[in-house]
Amino acid sequence: MKKFKYFCLTIATAAIVSLSACNNTPTAENPSAPAATSPSTAQVTEATTHGGHGGKAKININTAILSELDKFEAKLGVPALSNKIQASRPYASPEDLVTKKVITQEQFDQIKDQVTVQEVVLTGEAKDVDYMTKLGLMKGHLLVAQELLDKNLPKQAEPHIGHPVEEIYVDVEDQLNERKVKEFKSTLVSLQDLVKSNPKNAKVKTDFTASVQSVDGAIAALPEAQRNKPEFVLQVINGLLDAANSEYGAAIADGKIAAAIEYQDSRGFVVYADDLYKAISSQVAQSSPDTNKAIEASFSDLVKVWPSAVPPAKPVKTPVEVTQLIKTIEQNSQKIIDKSSTQAQR
């Protein structure tokens, strides 16, 4: 089954506040969510984005799309679990995963601390981080699509051109309108259709450039000072790496790369996250040289996991090893975020 997914992001660096816990998934309001569930809503304010690294955010099984649900698939090793969870909606409670026979009680016990049916509405800086992270996911998809087109592999490139529309655009559309960003969904759709029907057409190159410029323009709707602020960018980077981690875990099965698309997704996200860090590394080095070295070293090892957009015959690292590298980057990033928060409070 082809995966049509848009990404309901977890903000890995934010301390997310809910009505009953501190780690529910921050998502944009999803108009397609089942009305029957009517989950309670919590708000994440700008102030909370500077809190401690209070654990991973929970995943709303009523609204999360397949890329997010892939975390459960990777952890439990159940093929096509993401699709099964999606197909059995709506859920009145997390325990419905068991009562609806999506997973067993034993499997549920392994993930129950990560599951919620509660919505969280983002505000303040958390909303801006979510916005730029989703656009960063678009950039990652397009980066890997470009690599595949350059290798004359249009059939492999086409899904990654489609993903920004199928997965993400609907989830960020309200924010694009709020920020008065010119519509560019039609640009992405036009490019996807052209790559499908006539990939050798010279117009592919110009349409591709237009698509990338549209995403860049949407990112530029955020104030330049905010986009260059290390503590803000690091939250975006951690969101991208969290997405890459779940995609890579879903790509690997029995020690092999079983899902090329997920491997490629994770490559694009890591490549763009690395680009973002390079743009702020000099600022981080000035204030925290040792932390900067640690982050750069981890990124250097991480990018080697994806030697090419075409998957290698054997994975360079296991999902556990990739998770550890990403965790190290997140932990060091949090030092910068916490330091900035402390200075701002003085």
Q: Which of 256, 237, 214 has the alpha carbon at shortest distance from 329?
A: 237
Q: Are 281 and 274 in contact (CB under 8 A)?
A: no
Task: Report whether pLDDT(9) > 70.
Answer: no
Pairing of strands 256-257, 252-253: antiparallel
Long-range contacts formed by 92-99: CB under 8 A, 24+ apart: 92/36, 92/37, 92/117, 93/117, 94/61, 97/61
Q: Is 109 exposed, middle or buried (0-12, 13-18, 19+ CB in 10 A)?
A: exposed
Give φ, ψ of 104 to 5 degrees.
-85, 165
Distance separating alpha carbons of residues 332 and 327, to the nearest angstrom: 9
- 243-256 pLDDT per residue, tens: 999 899 889 989 99
Whether the pLDDT of residue 42 is over 80: the answer is no
Give me the residue spans of the domains in the chain: 59-116, 124-222, 223-345
DSSP letters, 30-67, are -TTS-TTT---EEEE-GGGGGS----PPPEETTT--HH
- Tell me which DSSP letter residue 253 carries: E
What is residue 28's predicted lDDT score, i.e. its pLDDT? 37
Contact at 8 Å (CB) between 308 and 224? no
Q: Is 81 exposed, middle or buried (0-12, 13-18, 19+ CB in 10 A)?
A: buried
Residue with tokens 């660096």: 13
- How far apart CA 59 and CA 67 sit, in angstroms, is 11
What was the pLDDT predicted at 43?
52
How far apart CA 113 and CA 100 sit, in angstroms, is: 19
59-116: CATH topology is: DNA polymerase; domain 1 (1.10.150)
pLDDT digits (tens, 9 = 90+) for 71-120: 898 788 887 888 899 899 999 999 999 999 999 999 999 999 999 999 87
Query: Which CATH number describes the domain made up of 124-222?
Result: 1.20.120
Partners of 60 in the β-ladder:
116
Q: Find residue 260's DSSP bridge partners.
A: none
SS3 256: strand
Return the pLDDT at 341: 81
> According to the model, what pLDDT value does residue 140 have?
97
Q: Report DSSP state, residue 92.
A: S
pLDDT in tens, 187-214: 999 999 999 999 999 999 999 999 999 9
What does the pLDDT average to over 313-342? Answer: 94
Percent of the chain whose predicted confidence (pLDDT) is above 70: 83
Query: For 270-321, what is each residue's pLDDT tens digit?
Result: 999 999 999 999 999 999 999 999 999 999 999 999 999 999 999 999 999 9
Q: Which two tokens stand for residue 7?
A: 């990404």
At residue 79, the pLDDT reads 79
Please tell me the total number of residues recorded for the chain in this structure. Answer: 346
Alpha-carbon distance of 297 to 275, in angstroms, equals: 14
14 or 326, higher pLDDT? 326
Average pLDDT over residues 115-126: 88
The answer to whether the beta carbons of residues 225 and 257 sit under 8 Å apart is no
Average pLDDT over residues 255-270: 95
More confident position, 35 or 147: 147
pLDDT for 64 beyond 90: no
pLDDT tops 80 at residue 326: yes
If pLDDT is split at 50, 70 and 90, which confidence band does 45 have?
Answer: very low
Q: What angle do CA 278, 272, 68 make, to 5 degrees?
A: 135
SS3 119: strand
- Residue 255 to residues 14, 211, 263, Cα–Cα distance (Å): 33, 36, 13
Predicted local distance difference test score (pLDDT) of residue 2: 40
Residue among 229, 262, 250 nearest 344 (CA): 229
